Amino acid sequence: MVEETAVAQSEAAVALLESRESVPITDEPVEEPPVDLKAPELYINRELSHLQFNIRVLEQALDEKHPLLERLMFLLIFSSNLDEFFEIRVAEQLHQLKYGREAVGPDAMHPEKIISRIAEICHAQIERQYQILNETLFPEMENEGIHFLRRRIWTDKQREWIRTYFNDNVVPVISPVGLDPSHPFPRLVNKSLNFIVELDGKDAFGRQTGMAIIPAPRSLPRLVRLPNEICEGDGDHLIFLSSLIHEFADDLFPGMKVKGCFQFRITRNADLTFDFEEIEDLANTLRGELHSRKYGDAVRLEVDNRTPEELIHFLQQEYTLNESQTYRVNGPVNLTRLMAVRDLVERNDLRWKPFSPGIPGKIKDQKDIFKALKQSDQLLLHPFQSFIPVVDLLRQSAKDPNVVAIKQTLYRTGVKSDIVNALVEAARSGKEVTVVIELRARFDEESNLHLASRLQEAGCLVVYGVVGYKCHAKAMLIVRQENGKLVRYSHLGTGNYHSGTARLYSDYSFLTADHEVGEDVHKVFQQLTGMGKIQKLKKLYNAPFTLHAKMLEMIQRETRLAKSGKDAHIMVKVNGLTEPKMIRALYDASRAGVKIDLIIRGMCRLRPGIPKLSENIRVRSIIGRFLEHTRVCYFANNGKPEVFAASADWMERNMLNRVETGFPLFGKNADRMKKELDYYMMDNCQSWELHADGSYTQNHPEEGEERFSAQDRLMDDFAR
């Protein structure tokens, strides 16, 4: 989708460069005239760029090369992503307007204009989403024997079974609320499924309000599978909870007539804000704030498109929402809950083909992982290579009598994960276990509070990082007694310590016995758990202190090399590129002739392809089976390349307001990472190219060219 605003800004950027006075030709080398690299025309709006990523996800639902049920999952992930986008990003823009705290980014776009553009895009894309579901995916699933049964086609046998199910499982837990002066409009939970009901008649007390609300309990499944014996033909027969409630709503209001029953859902502001100067106990403050997340200000209303206008207007007034914030949908209003299809339908032929992640031979053949790391560093790329060696390192450390201390950061992980179980075992066996838990990992706060309690009960020293700076670093340190000396083993990564996401997200893990890396990781933990001045690191770079400056230094060095006619090339793969100083440095490098390849999964503020500014920059996004999550960069350095991996994206929050770790790779590991970056630049089927106007187009093999998927190639390289 080409955004008119973005097109105008892109054209303005070109005009800005072309309007410079021409320079007379002489025999002397002439410096390029200066360009205002802070000009707003040179930047794409962050929120609109984020939306473009979600649209690329939705496009996967139409890709017939994906298995059918995976296409459905992409469509549902689009819903889940949009939910969070409204809860956080849209809510933030509305909050700025409400309290007169408008802040503009480098693109200088006012929040009011951003909100208007978001609404325009989202209305079009949500309508398209339901069109894909109803006209493409449902019919194709029907052809495959996966039937979503509408009420009008229920047989008598099915209706009888469904009524029994309704009476036994729904009626006991559902609580309809009639609206009258003593029963005001109920406080409904964020993103919950609800029904607004039109009633006729009087109840037992003689009340005649004409309206009621039915909140659907979250304990109830949104999809119900019918027994095979009451269904005709083979396949899977499913019904929506909303269909049950629609069909038997009369039973919930005895003696009254239900004239209409319509689904709706409210999305609320779910961001948590703190005044850090007032916080005395972060955990207790967070516990108090979590409840309020369910009842923040409303930011979006979704309603069944058959809902009468007077009822929609009533809901809009109740939640102080306008027409642009109201989404009339042709189907279930809570599509994300359709993900239950994965558990209800056993059709492996309609899913991704299973694979077994590989394990490097030196680790696989060596039972003692400490010996393996003494021999050589290990670089793992998940999910193509297994996460098990990382878990095994911790498990072996928990049991090893020579291990005296373990230090670990945790951002997103399960309370009962293998990682946590090993930390608990280590603490109970008397080892010194220190865990830095980031309580404010968005939407995982409650889980992390439970995690902290479990670790503390086991005897771990638990700290919550640094107030005001999220601890996003991924680091583990094992201290082991060997021949009378203490030896450190380290793990550094680009992703979280979560075995589940390690099967779904692409991330690097670096395992090493390098002495200097171990010293640096130790110093990082000292900064997190204690107090003191910034400690100088030998090999690592950490935010908010040195990582940002190091990356700028690397870009500027390539710029100088290009200006002197030497080999200069930059490759960066991150989830987001929004930090203005880094973008300006990349623009400067491009003007100097540096070849720049950027693989940015999501938000990107930089405009590539602007003549005389960013024409040497290519930006692409990879969307496929796995969520691209690695953060790595390569600098050619005139034939002496330097390669880095990090926990940080190239965004303001990561580089300036979080605790992050970046680490260099050398030798074979550096060569390997460069080769894998090349794969992503070679991808001609799952890659999308960003244009100067902010739009993306999907790459396809040219005539006679073989199809090349980076993710498929990595599976071929590493998976078993």
Residue matched to tokens 């239900």:
258
- CB of 672 within 8 A of CB of 657? no
What the block records as the tokens of 407 is: 């230090």
Closest CA to 404 of 489, 503, 302, 317: 489
337 is in an annotated binding site: no
What the block records as the tokens of 257 is: 């007539």
What the block records as the tokens of 494 is: 């680009």
Opening angle at CA 46, ends 573 and 464, nearest 5: 70
Pseudo-torsion of CA 317, 335, 441, 546, nearest 10°?
A: -100
Task: Give, for 204, the enclosing helix (H) or strand (E).
Answer: none
Instruction: Give the N- to C-terminal CA distance of the chain in Å, as an integer.
Output: 39
629 is in an annotated binding site: yes
Q: What is the DSSP string of 592-629?
A: HT-EEEEEESS-B-B----TTTTTTEEEEEE-SSSEE-
Cα atoms in the Cβ-side hemisphere of radius 13 Å centred on 149: 24
Helices 68-84, 111-132: inter-axial angle, 10-degree rounding: 160
Q: Please compute Rg for the chain using Cα positions.
A: 28
Handedness of CA 151, 155, 161, 164 (dihedral sign): positive
505 is in an annotated binding site: yes
Residue matched to tokens 């004409």:
210
d(CA 42, CA 706): 35
Q: Is 147 marked active-site?
A: no
Residues 6+ apart with CB under 8 A from 55: 1, 121, 125
601 is in an annotated binding site: yes
Closest CA to 315 of 200, 188, 199: 188
- CB of 457 within 8 A of CB of 415? no
d(CA 179, CA 253): 13
Instruction: Map residue 551 onto helix, strand or coil.
Output: helix
Cross-strand bridge partners of residue 118: none
d(CA 213, CA 441): 34
d(CA 527, CA 261): 58
d(CA 85, CA 188): 20
Cross-strand bridge partners of residue 614: none
Q: What is the DSSP string of 395-452?
A: HHHHH-TTEEEEEEEESS--TT-HHHHHHHHHHHTT-EEEEEE-TTSTT-HHHHHHHH
Out of 50, 66, 237, 472, pick the active-site residue.
472
d(CA 480, CA 489): 8
Q: How many CB atoms lie under 10 A from the CB of residue 351?
A: 16
Q: How distant, in Å, are the alpha carbons of 165, 465, 495 from that of 380?
A: 49, 27, 12
d(CA 542, CA 521): 10
Q: How buried is 152 (Cβ within 10 angstroms: 0-12 exposed, 13-18 middle, 19+ buried)?
A: exposed
150 is in an annotated binding site: no
d(CA 642, CA 635): 5
442 is in an annotated binding site: yes
Residues 6+ apart with CB under 8 A from 99: none
What the block records as the tokens of 708 is: 């090349």
Q: Which residues are part of a known binding site for ATP?
A: 81, 505, 601, 629
Give catalytic residues, as residue numbers.
Answer: 472
Q: Which residues are part of a known binding site?
A: 81, 412, 442, 505, 601, 629
Q: Which residues are part of a known binding site for Mg(2+)?
A: 412, 442
